[in-house]
Amino acid sequence: MSGTAFARTLVDMDGSLEVVMSKARDACSWATAQNGGHITPPLYHDQLDLKKKHDAEAAKQIIHSHLDELISVAEEQGLTEEDQCRKVDTYDVFFDIGDVFERAKEKLGHYLEKLQSEKGGWGTMDRPAGMQLADGVCGAISTTGGAVHPYRLVTGILSRLLKTYSSFRLYTHTPCLSIHDNIVHAPRSDIHAKHIVHATNGWMSHLLGKRSFSRIRQSIGLPHQAAA
């Protein structure tokens, strides 16, 4: 997903760029391919943390980009019928453990106070009846979420890039073995690149060169204190 998003941004921005995407496995596999397709980011949970880490305006942009941006991309790529990207009703269900539900409602209140445009899309239910929920459920928070077939979304975008841009190449089952001087060493051949982007998880330390730390010597003197 990350590699596809980055490649799409690059070649759509400048179709003359030579972009090579190397995948150790299939074009879309593992977590993305096996994902159930639920687009339900815990927006009201994240808002305060995002605001602290960035600022209020950046938090709003990040929050609004989750669902609407994915649907926009699917529409732009002409994939809404194939990947079934759509809005659905979604629920966060809380069990009667401590004050978890009350704290969640408090966070939701802060969230809606800061983002007035979101007020119409949320609801809370204390001990909801008629929803066939498990015993011990004390409440639920309802909103609009999304659903998508992630495999079809990713492969659909990659297929469009390959058909549209001769400068874009995709190599599957081509793991990167090592990198030296901007040369990506793969089993079948080497790839020479001006820039290399690691669109992967934390399993990449073996691809990064050894890091050395510079020692900086410093002496610290305490200020003179007059005798009492």
The residues near 151 (Cβ < 8 Å, ≥ 6 apart) are 28, 32, 33
Left, alpha or beta for 130 (phi > 0: left; psi -120 to 50: alpha)?
A: left
Strands 137-147 and 86-95: antiparallel
For residue 215, what pLDDT is reported?
63
Q: Domain segments of the chain: what residues?
A: 38-148
Matching residue, tokens 């081509």:
174
DSSP type of residue 78: T
The CA distance from 28 to 46, in Å, is: 28
Q: pLDDT by residue for the chain (228 residues), tens digit each?
A: 889 999 999 999 999 999 999 998 999 886 666 667 888 776 787 777 888 888 877 877 777 677 888 889 899 999 999 999 999 988 999 998 788 999 999 989 988 887 777 778 889 999 887 788 888 899 999 988 888 998 999 999 999 999 999 999 999 999 999 998 899 999 989 999 999 998 887 677 778 766 555 666 655 544 444 444
Instruction: Return the residue matching tokens 């990207």.
Output: 85
The first and second tokens of residue 193, run together, are 């690149």
As beta bridge partners, residue 191 has: 184
CA 165 to chain centre: 25
Of 73, 43, 62, 223, which Cα lies nearest the Cα of 150? 73
CA dihedral (16, 22, 28, 32) in degrees, to 10, reads -100
pLDDT for the residue numbered 42: 66
**Of 9, 35, 3, the residue nearest 151 (C-alpha):** 35
Other C-beta atoms lying within 10 Å of the C-beta of residue 114:
16
* DSSP secondary structure letter of residue 22: E
Whether 22 and 193 have beta carbons less than 8 Å apart is answered as: no
